[in-house]
A and B are shown apart, each in its own frame.
Chain A
Amino acid sequence: MFNQLFPNVDWVKMWEATYETLYMTVISTGVTFVLGLAIGILLFLTSPHQIWANKIVNVLTGSLVNIFRSIPFIVLIILLIPFTKFLLGTIRGVEAALPALIIGAAPFYARLVLIALREIDKGVIEAARSMGAKTSTIIWKVLIPESLPALLSGITVTAVALVGYTAMAGIIGAGGLGNLAFIDGFQRSRDDVTLMATIIILLIVFILQFIGDFITTKTDKR
């Protein structure tokens, strides 16, 4: 019955595309988490009245984040073609999508990190300083644990956005479900392929959101 509903779906190809989408999402989410966190913490610590208060670094980093956050993703992919080529020697394939995905998502996540860190009670940071904590201790033992629920819900939002980005990246030849839906589904007028790809993407998003929400609630002891 399933095959009757989706007569044109090549399940091997579909599974391959799903794997590619998951691969791109997981890797880019992972790198975005680390990079975005680092940039977000830098933005936070260099802002006025903070430990590393530094107007120049703060404004510069903030502007870079804003610029990359504002470029539409599809344009960013095209702009990054020379960079990707330089980095990987090719602009095709799953790996080739990663630089654009990460550079597109990390500044977005950095902003969410900044918002999360600003929510931390200033008194707690002051308390840690009054105990003689080093800045690295404050980062690892105060800033990150105290904002963890917000950091996790932020990365969930980012991961869901990244699933969408992978589909767009697929159109320029990165593979994955977006690519499959576009090439096999749209260009060959096989609506069932497009529909199946959509259903799987939706499933991925739902599962990501569920896991994200679950972990966020688990870590929140407030």
Chain B
Amino acid sequence: MIELKDISKIYKTKNGEITAVKDVSLSINKGEIFGIIGYSGAGKSTMIRLLNGLEKPTTGTVEVNGQQISSITGTQLRQARQKISMIFQHFNLLWSRTVADNIAFPLEIAGVPKAERVTRVKELIDLVGLTGRENAYPSQLSGGQKQRVGIARALANNPEVLLCDEATSALDPETTDAILELLLDINKRLGLTIVLITHEMHVIRKICRRVAVMEAGRVVESGDVLDVFQNPQAEITKNFVMQVSGTRESKESIEQILVNYPTGKIVKLTFIGNKTEQPVISQIIKEFNVEVNIVHGNITQTTSGPYGTLIVQIDGKPNQVEEAFKLLESREIQAEVIDHV
């Protein structure tokens, strides 16, 4: 569906060249929700704009929906863009138009006749849950409602791809969840491919199937969200995972336990999918003569299933502790001993 091959983007400025994207190759499947995560300045903004030709790569090719976006221009590019819509962090609605007229704007661009526009706008307003607000101006709407207008507007011409440029970064947590639900729902109902960029791991785990992690213009890690959560390789990815697994806050408690109980082992257990529902801890305690002290626990829902972490202190005779580890291993639960923080 989307193919990026050996993409580099270099900006020439007065103070020399800036490489925004470097040697990136990615492929995104039809109908999936693909996330690109990175801190600001990582190059993700440029990346997403390469997909609809708002930015042209310095080297490499971008193919979306069978069209080479990186080389087409003029009418061809404008027509391609009608099928690759975009929503924005700051919504970018026209303040001079009502909700209905904002949603009608892309239809006007596509040359849809008036009567059809009216019916389509009505459908879209119902779809995003803004019924009754048709004649309001953007200034009269809340952030969440504005993004709903943005989404309705983006869906107007039945696009194949929806690009989300930090679409929830300006919203409060509750509204963020509501908008993410809406995106997930649209993805399921309309089967359109969604590519989103964000700096929040929460967004990734909530709706993405696959993720690419960007740092300094490069994709440092990519794969299924659950795999990346379970086995983060790059340092930056570990940081992002900590955003949602809450292990950052548990650091202090671990330190405290290490001091108070120098004997046992502090172990981080990672559960994936339905393994999160196994009663392993009680089994360990029953079968072996060990003490288990729970330091921290957390379960995160992702689109491919739950992902849980549990930090425990296991104390007992060395051979008993060893046996306990074996049991965990046989249940495909990752156990990692933490001996320093």
Contacts and interface: CB of A to CB of B under 8 A. Distances in A.
Decide whether A and B are members of one complex. yes
Interface of A: 121, 123-124, 126-134, 137, 141-142, 145-146, 148, 219, 221-222
Interface stretch (B85-93, B267-275, B317-325): B85-93
A131 B109 contact: yes
Nearest to A122: B92
B110 A132 contact: yes
B82 to A, nearest CB: 4
B64 to A, nearest CB: 13
A141 B108 contact: yes
B39 interface: no
B139 A130 contact: no
A126 B90 CA distance: 12
B131 interface: no
Interface of B: 52, 54, 77-82, 84-86, 88, 90, 92-97, 105-106, 108-110, 137, 139, 153, 157, 163
A84 B196 CA distance: 60
A221 B90 CA distance: 18
B92 A133 contact: no
Nearest to B110: A132
Interface majority SS (helix, strand, loop, mixed), chain A:
helix
Nearest to A124: B92
Closest 9 CB pairs of A and B: A132-B81, A132-B78, A127-B92, A123-B92, A145-B96, A130-B86, A131-B106, A221-B137, A132-B82
Contacts of B94: 124, 141-142, 145-146
A133 B108 CA distance: 9
27 contacts: A126-B54, A126-B88, A126-B92, A127-B88, A127-B92, A128-B105, A130-B54, A130-B84, A130-B85, A130-B163, A131-B81, A131-B105, A131-B106, A132-B80, A132-B82, A132-B109, A133-B109, A137-B108, A141-B94, A141-B105, A141-B108, A142-B94, A145-B96, A146-B95, A148-B96, A221-B95, A222-B139
A221 B109 CA distance: 23
A26 B198 CA distance: 53
Nearest to A149: B96
Contacts of B97: 145
B137 A137 contact: no
A146 B81 CA distance: 22
Contact of A127 (B84, B86, B95): B86
Contacts of A128: 105, 109
Nearest to A131: B106
A124 B90 CA distance: 9
A20 to B, nearest CB: 37
Given A130-B54, A134-B78, A121 B85 contact: no
Contacts of A145: 94, 96-97
Contacts of B84: 130
Given A131-B153, A221-B139, 10 more contacts: A121-B90, A127-B92, A129-B81, A130-B84, A131-B81, A131-B82, A131-B85, A131-B105, A132-B77, A145-B96
A215 to B, nearest CB: 14
B78 A133 contact: yes
A132 B81 CA distance: 5
A117 B246 CA distance: 46
A134 B110 CA distance: 10
A129 B77 CA distance: 10
A188 to B, nearest CB: 52
A123 B45 CA distance: 13
Contacts of B110: 132
Contacts of A131: 81-82, 85, 105-106, 109, 153, 157
B88 A221 contact: no
A222 B90 CA distance: 15
Contacts of A121: 90, 92
Contacts of A141: 94, 105, 108
Nearest to B136: A221
Given A137-B109, A141-B105, A221-B139, A130 B81 contact: yes
B105 A129 contact: no
B207 to A, nearest CB: 21
A129 B85 CA distance: 10
